Amino acid sequence: MILSPGSGGPLVDPDGNAWSMSRRRLDLRVVRRALRSESAIVVVGESNGFDLHWVTSEQRPGLWEQLRRSYQGPGGTGGDYMGYEFVDNSGARMLYLEKGC
């Protein structure tokens, strides 16, 4: 059985770097800070995490508007998205947002 990244499955970026989950169910405030950070890596996993999309800085304001209305984690109002933090071997952090069907 293959797991989505949000369920503990692997997350491998286009360069082949493996990322491991470090925190689950991020508070919406943590998600907002990561989206505002210029250095943050942001990935959305559509279709319950099986269709990955790397989010550019230009796409982040629109994504934030979606998250404000449809975040199911702490601080959210319920909806389709859940946030997770991933780290790689160098200690870099990634915000991963899984969107359910």
For residue 84 the two structure tokens come to: 């997770």
Say if 1 falls within a structural domain: no
Min mean pLDDT across 8-12, 25-29, 90-94 is at 8-12
| pLDDT on residue 49 | 86
Say if 2 falls within a structural domain: no
Q: Compute the distance between CA of residue 80 and CA of residue 87 in angstroms, rounded to an integer.
A: 23
pLDDT in tens, 34-65: 999 988 899 999 988 889 999 999 999 999 99
Say if 84 falls within a structural domain: yes
What's the predicted TM-score (pTM) here? 0.94
φ, ψ for residue 81, nearest 5 deg: -105, 145
| pLDDT on residue 93 | 94
| pLDDT on residue 60 | 96
Say if 9 falls within a structural domain: no
Say if 10 falls within a structural domain: no
pLDDT in tens, 71-101: 999 999 999 999 999 999 999 999 999 998 6
Number of domains in the chain: 1
Largest CA distance in the chain: 36
| pLDDT on residue 38 | 87
Are the C-beta atoms of residues 42 and 52 closer than 8 Å to each other? no
Say if 5 falls within a structural domain: no
Say if 12 falls within a structural domain: no
Residue with tokens 């169910």: 25
| pLDDT on residue 8 | 86
Are the C-beta atoms of residues 98 and 5 closer than 8 Å to each other? yes
Domain around 90: 20-99
2 pLDDT more than 80: no
φ, ψ for residue 6, nearest 5 deg: -70, -20
| pLDDT on residue 39 | 87
Say if 3 falls within a structural domain: no
